Chain A
Amino acid sequence: MNSSWRSEIFAVFRKEVMTELRSRSGLTTGALFAFVTVVTIALATYNQRIEKNLAAALVWNAIMFSSILSLPRTFIGEEEAGTGDLLRLMARPHAVFWGKSLFNVVQALLTGIVLSVMFIIFTNIKLTVPWLYAVSLVFGCISLAGAVTICGALVCRANNRYALAAAVAVPILLPLISLGITGVRIGIGPFETDASFLGGVRAGYGLIGYAIATLVIGPPLYAAVWKS
């Protein structure tokens, strides 16, 4: 990556950070949603031990919905503020996509980590394989950010765009969520056999692959719809 590309990407990233710091709407929405979800789960399962399958599913559902609420804003907000056309004049599509993806990755990771820590504390879950839990969480969040960024870019000029972003993103996120649930479930443990553990490791590989795939196909797809 030459310096021109790098500066363009970081300029877009910096713009997103500045915009977010000014309004704090994305992070606030995501964090609040995550907090409310965890508190609700803790309240609903008060005095009960959550089974690992259920725990993994709950964590990933909370992460997915909080991401869907906050991440598409990067593109949708641009069109609502009327700055989309200006951006199209000033920057190249790949740089815009990478800059916004980078910002969304950071935001998704922050949300995911905060939500996980709160979930572990509130529900008193012990991790058997912490590194697998961490790998699933990190790469799951990166994949999620990549996929939701693509969907946000596709719906940003459609009618009823916020609801549409969720409707369009959820079906393509479900395979990723299933891999994430497998990884987190084995991470929470205890796992019955070595085969289960290997299944968790494979899910981790799957998430890494998914993350790479979304971040690689995203820019050309965005470039294709960039000026439509």
Chain B
Amino acid sequence: MVRTKGMDASLSGNPDSERMMLWLIAAPTFFANFLLIGAMTRLADGMKKAALGLLLSLGYLCLAPVLLQLATEVEFSFVVLSGPLLLTGINFVILFGTGKKAEMELPALALSFAAGYVVSVGLGVLDVSVRPLPDIDQFPLPILAVILGAVIVTALSSVFYKLVDGSFELVKTLAKIVFAIAVSFATFLSYAVQDAASFQKPELARIFFWHFPCPIMATGLICIGAWFSFKYLQTKDLAWDARASATNELGYIFCLATMTTGILFSYVQWGDWWQWDPRQTSFLIVLLIYLAYFVLRGAMPDEDRRAANSGAYALAALGPALFLIFVFPRLPQIAQASFHPTKSIMAGEIKGYYAYVISATMTLSLVFSVWLYKMRVAASLFEQEVNNNDGTMETNRITPTPTGVVRPVRVPDQD
């Protein structure tokens, strides 16, 4: 059995790939700014919220040097990054000049969305036309960068629009289209990268792209679920329980995906489907914790009791779950026995196009989770609404409905 920690299919040191990374950062920043202009014009008195959006954009910009680390072409990065910074400044002036008067609403937002996208793509194409593409089977990475950036910014801006109380169907529709395209590109790119030579079966190393985001998402969702449970116990508002339950359901799905892809990963790299590796075992127990949470919920018909008891369990299980994920696999005697890499990210072993694809799959997983979460919470809240209005929602309770036919229901207005 060959021990291989991490992977190195790096293209780092290639200035073209670094330049593409700059675009990955810069394009969405432009995009964010144009979206921001649209948002600012429709604000009557939401100055603080607009400033928050501005900070969001600036914060995103500040991330650039951190993510880059290796910006060897200082002049180029200065040009690319100072452009969005200038644009942010202009937006700031516009904000103070028109913030309280203009009411452009939807057309302005649509226009700014389109303008931002065109400018981003245009600049990306302009940059690429100056220099040749990096050799990755002639795949146009800047386009991926722009699309990925659009996905990130769409997600961030939807949070922003939510803050300003805006209903923005166009962004939602476009976001879905962009998301679908981004998933296709990320999948395509995951096949286009070089084989990881250090793997026993180099071509199958690509399972890593789809394995890596799953445990991260599952871990994050455990913590968020515990927080929602805490909020329920604090407020006794069933909406928090719906959120906690939705989060844990998603976490459970990601946990299952972790196990499935992990088993494949184990087979590809270590030659065995299951070998009781401490990492595999610890995640199996986390899966059991999730399962116990749902079993507990299922055993309590009363919704208040179910919410309180499962919430308390989620909080009680948080410590053991975090111990299993973070501490147990790193205990000296356990770590020695494990084949699973533990420092690939921190030691910078994932570089070049592998880093790009993993960033893409991480982002897409995040966006997908938020999407599913929102739908699940909406369904749960509707279910609660139906239960609370039992007897007043059915249109006709006298005529019996045939088996298998769903009665039309009406949700009463909440005045």
| Contact of A182 with B295 in the complex, beta carbons under 8 Å | no
| CA A155 to CA B292, docked complex, whole Å | 11
| Contact of A171 with B312 in the complex, beta carbons under 8 Å | no
| Contact of A168 with B296 in the complex, beta carbons under 8 Å | yes
| Contact of B333 with A168 in the complex, beta carbons under 8 Å | no
Chain B, Cβ-Cβ closest to A178: B328
Given contacts A154-B309, A171-B289, A225-B309, contact A217 B315 (CB under 8 A): yes
- Which of B299, B308, B331 meets A224, CB within 8 Å? B308
Of the stretches A2-10, A29-37, A98-106, A156-164, the one at the interface is: A156-164
| CA A225 to CA B309, docked complex, whole Å | 6
Contacts A199-B333, A228-B304 known; 14 new A-B pairs at CB < 8 A: A155-B296, A158-B309, A159-B301, A164-B295, A168-B296, A171-B288, A171-B291, A172-B289, A172-B320, A175-B328, A196-B333, A224-B233, A225-B309, A228-B309
1/0 per residue, CB under 8 A from A, across B315-329: the answer is 111011001100010
Residues of chain A contacted by B328 (CB below 8 angstroms): 175, 178
Taking the closest CB of chain B, its distance from the CB of A10, in whole angstroms, is 25
- Which of B285, B292, B312, B317 meets A225, CB within 8 Å? B312
Taking the closest CB of chain A, its distance from the CB of B294, in whole angstroms, is 11
Given contacts A172-B320, A175-B323, contact A199 B331 (CB under 8 A): yes
1/0 per residue, CB under 8 A from B, across A111-132: the answer is 0000000000000000000000
Residues of chain A contacted by B300 (CB below 8 angstroms): 157-159
Interface size on A, residues (CB 8 A): 33
Q: Is B99 an interface residue, CB under 8 A from the partner?
A: no
Taking the closest CB of chain A, its distance from the CB of B232, in whole angstroms, is 9
| CA A225 to CA B332, docked complex, whole Å | 39
Q: Is B3 an interface residue, CB under 8 A from the partner?
A: no
Chain B, Cβ-Cβ closest to A196: B333
Q: Is B305 an interface residue, CB under 8 A from the partner?
A: yes
Most buried by B among A158, A160, A196, A217: A158
| CA A225 to CA B308, docked complex, whole Å | 5
Q: Is A57 an interface residue, CB under 8 A from the partner?
A: no
| Contact of B304 with A154 in the complex, beta carbons under 8 Å | no
Chain A, Cβ-Cβ closest to B317: A172
Residues of chain A contacted by B332 (CB below 8 angstroms): 195, 199
16 chain-A/chain-B pairs, Cβ below 8 angstroms:
A150-B312, A154-B313, A157-B305, A164-B299, A167-B295, A168-B295, A170-B288, A171-B288, A171-B320, A172-B320, A174-B288, A174-B324, A175-B320, A182-B333, A199-B333, A217-B315
1/0 per residue, CB under 8 A from A, across B361-380: the answer is 00000000000000000000
Interface size on B, residues (CB 8 A): 30
Residues of chain B contacted by A160 (CB below 8 angstroms): 299
| Contact of B299 with A155 in the complex, beta carbons under 8 Å | yes
Chain B, Cβ-Cβ closest to A156: B309
Q: Is the interface of A mostly helix, strand, loop or mixed?
A: helix
| CA A33 to CA B393, docked complex, whole Å | 54
| Contact of B313 with A175 in the complex, beta carbons under 8 Å | no
Q: Is B53 an interface residue, CB under 8 A from the partner?
A: no
Residues of chain B contacted by A221 (CB below 8 angstroms): 312, 315-316
Given contacts A217-B315, A228-B309, contact A168 B320 (CB under 8 A): no
Residues of chain B contacted by A150 (CB below 8 angstroms): 312, 316
| Contact of B289 with A159 in the complex, beta carbons under 8 Å | no
| CA A154 to CA B315, docked complex, whole Å | 12
| Contact of A171 with B313 in the complex, beta carbons under 8 Å | no
Residues of chain A contacted by B301 (CB below 8 angstroms): 159
| Contact of B309 with A164 in the complex, beta carbons under 8 Å | no
Given contacts A154-B296, A160-B299, A178-B328, contact A168 B313 (CB under 8 A): yes
Q: Is B311 an interface residue, CB under 8 A from the partner?
A: yes
- Which of A167, A173, A224 meets B312, CB within 8 Å? A224
| Contact of A168 with B292 in the complex, beta carbons under 8 Å | yes
Given contacts A160-B299, A164-B295, A164-B299, contact A171 B316 (CB under 8 A): no
1/0 per residue, CB under 8 A from A, across B26-45: the answer is 00000000000000000000
Taking the closest CB of chain A, its distance from the CB of B229, in whole angstroms, is 10
Residues of chain A contacted by B316 (CB below 8 angstroms): 147, 150-151, 154, 172, 217, 221
Restricting to B275-312, which residues have a CB under 8 Å from any CB of A? 285, 288-289, 291-292, 295-296, 299-301, 304-305, 307-309, 311-312
Chain A, Cβ-Cβ closest to B296: A168
Q: Is A213 an interface residue, CB under 8 A from the partner?
A: yes
Taking the closest CB of chain B, its distance from the CB of A34, in whole angstroms, is 24
| Contact of A175 with B308 in the complex, beta carbons under 8 Å | no
Most buried by B among A182, A196, A221: A221
Restricting to A182-211, which residues have a CB under 8 Å from any CB of B? 182, 195-196, 199, 202
Chain A, Cβ-Cβ closest to B230: A224
Chain A, Cβ-Cβ closest to B232: A224
Given contacts A168-B313, A172-B317, A196-B333, contact A159 B308 (CB under 8 A): no
Taking the closest CB of chain A, its distance from the CB of B83, in whole angstroms, is 51
| Contact of B323 with A164 in the complex, beta carbons under 8 Å | no
Residues of chain B contacted by A167 (CB below 8 angstroms): 292, 295
| CA A157 to CA B306, docked complex, whole Å | 10
| CA A171 to CA B292, docked complex, whole Å | 8
Taking the closest CB of chain B, its distance from the CB of A166, in whole angstroms, is 10
Chain B, Cβ-Cβ closest to A168: B292
| Contact of A159 with B299 in the complex, beta carbons under 8 Å | yes
| Contact of B319 with A213 in the complex, beta carbons under 8 Å | yes
Taking the closest CB of chain B, its distance from the CB of A129, in whole angstroms, is 16
| Contact of B296 with A174 in the complex, beta carbons under 8 Å | no
Taking the closest CB of chain B, its distance from the CB of A168, in whole angstroms, is 5
